[in-house]
Amino acid sequence: METLQSLHWAWQAVIAAFLVVGGIFALVGAIGMLRFPDFFMRLHAPTKATTLGVGGVLLASIVAGWAEGRWGMHELLITLFLFVTAPVSASLMAKAALHLRAPSRAAVPPDQPQR
């Protein structure tokens, strides 16, 4: 079994590319969590960008496993679980915030009265 250091440079380049892309998406998600002003906008950052960031890291792990001769079933299951549960949990949190009337800085449409 090969170690990652003894892999062909092409495998290493693909793995590094997935890690960099995943890291960029995770960084954008983290910045969004800090910069967005209210709950609903902050909810968007981790459910989209950070999910793709973790997806990039998992793809790098899958490719590393393939390069070593493993199928990567664990990574595939983690990816499936992540991409199914993140949108569902975000939807449930948004519905709970709407029910609790969490304040939002979104622009009010002109046909609705101000609160």
- The whole-number pLDDT of residue 27 equals 92
Q: What is the pLDDT of residues 19-70, one digit of tens each?
A: 999 999 999 988 988 888 888 888 888 788 878 898 899 999 999 988 888 8
Longest dimension (CA), the chain: 67
Give dist(CA 26, CA 47) in Å, integer. 11
Q: For position 115, what pLDDT does the model report?
A: 55
